[in-house]
Amino acid sequence: MENHTTVYEFVLAGFSDSSKLQIPLFTFFFVIYFTTLIANLGMVLLIKIDPQLHTPMYFFLSHLSFVDFCYSTVVTPKMLTDFFMRRKIISLTGCAVQMWFFIFFLAAECFLLAAMAYDRYIAISNPLMYSAVMSQKVCSQLVVLPYLVGLLNATTHTTLTFQLSFCNNNIINHFFCDIPAVITLSCSNTRVHKRLLFVLSFAFGIVDIAIIIVSYIYILSAILRIRSSAGRHKAFSTCSTHLTVVTIFYGTLFFTYVRPNFSSSTQEDKVVSMLYTVMIPMLNPLIYSLRNKEVKDAVRRLFRGKSLL
């Protein structure tokens, strides 16, 4: 028999324990988060007020920007304040809430990217019927589904994680309450939980990736049937932005979650987590705006003072 003390709060190890790096890291991440807020909220506002952006593609993009803003906000403000805290404390309930919202928005983003891939497939393979197929009702359904998947995913993962017992060790070797980092602290037998979480993450990921891959197979087939080189270039340009976002996003997620054995977070895990929690929400609106002529034209119209309504 061993003496166990039930844990009611956790201590986050943070991104770095070096006091010399506190101010530089705080400044770096603050600039990124500020850019994330401006870029994503700006994208949502621009799409809302510019009638020329009232199309299915930008409807999905506005939700992607909203989700990016939300799940970055779930993690980054806490991380920023912790740079100046001697003990980076988060309550058990606070940790569960942070985990739930983070997984909710992260899962929603995954399936939003799948919906956007399907939208690009319809736009390129059947442009004449695009408006009829991607009606307002269909677009709304394709947006509601990712949020429902996020709700199911977040509730399942968070419930499974916090059904475990936590005692004695309460130091999370991470800068937020990520699933692998929290599970490793449990004094329960976590073998079944780890396997179940792996299977669920793998299943959600495979379904989502399959939708995207199949969509892009059909997209590539449709592009190759386009006779004019200008038409093929335009089609490739339309899809390359989305494909860039998908590649960066899923590369980091699979490294973190789709592993048979969760291990205690290393500095490498923290860097990878930083990419999808902090960097990608900032990069997404920048990638879409810098590589998208319609968005750049809408920004020019806005700054020239022309009426957008």
Q: Which CATH number fits domain 9-303: 3.40.640.10, 1.20.1070.10, 3.30.450.20, 3.30.70.1520?
A: 1.20.1070.10
More confident residue, 261 or 168: 168
pTM of the shown model: 0.86
Nearest alpha-carbon partner for 208 in 136, 118, 278, 134:
118
Q: How many CA atoms lie within 13 A of 256 on its CB side?
A: 24
Of 27-31, 172-176, 235-239, minimum mean pLDDT range: 235-239
Nearest alpha-carbon partner for 103 in 176, 53, 5, 189:
176
Kindly report, residue by residue over 144-192, the tens digit of the pLDDT: 999 999 999 899 889 988 888 888 788 888 889 988 888 888 888 878 7
| Distance in angstroms (rounded) separating the CA atoms of residues 121 and 116 | 9
Q: What is the pLDDT of residue 306?
A: 55
CB distance 216 to 117 below 8 Å: yes
Q: Which helix (H) or strand (E) holds 172?
A: strand 171-172
What order do you get walking across the sheet with 89-91 strand by strand?
A: 89-91, 9-12, 171-172
Using CA atoms, how far residue 90 sits from 30, 81, 82, in Å, is 20, 12, 10
Q: Which pLDDT band, with edges at 50, 70 and 90, does 291 fall under?
A: low
**Can you state the angle between helices 136-162 and 92-125, rounded to 10 degrees?**
150
Positive or negative, the CA dihedral 55, 60, 65, 67 is positive
| Distance in angstroms (rounded) separating the CA atoms of residues 309 and 72 | 30
CB distance 123 to 89 below 8 Å: no
For residue 231, is pLDDT > 70? no
Token pair in block for residue 201: 């993450």
| Distance in angstroms (rounded) separating the CA atoms of residues 148 and 103 | 12
Percentage of the chain exceeding pLDDT 70: 88
Q: What torsion do the CA atoms of 32, 157, 261, 182 make, to the nearest 10 degrees?
A: 60
Count of all residues that appear for the chain in the document: 309
Kindly report, residue by residue over 55-114, the tens digit of the pLDDT: 898 999 999 999 999 989 999 999 999 988 888 899 999 999 999 999 999 999 988 988
| Distance in angstroms (rounded) separating the CA atoms of residues 222 and 293 | 22
Question: How confident is the model over 224-238, as a mean pLDDT?
Answer: 70
Quote the mean pLDDT of the chain.
83
Of 105-114, 167-176, 222-231, 251-260, minimum mean pLDDT range: 251-260
Q: What is the pLDDT of residue 276?
A: 84
Q: What is the pLDDT of residue 104?
A: 95
| Distance in angstroms (rounded) separating the CA atoms of residues 148 and 160 | 18
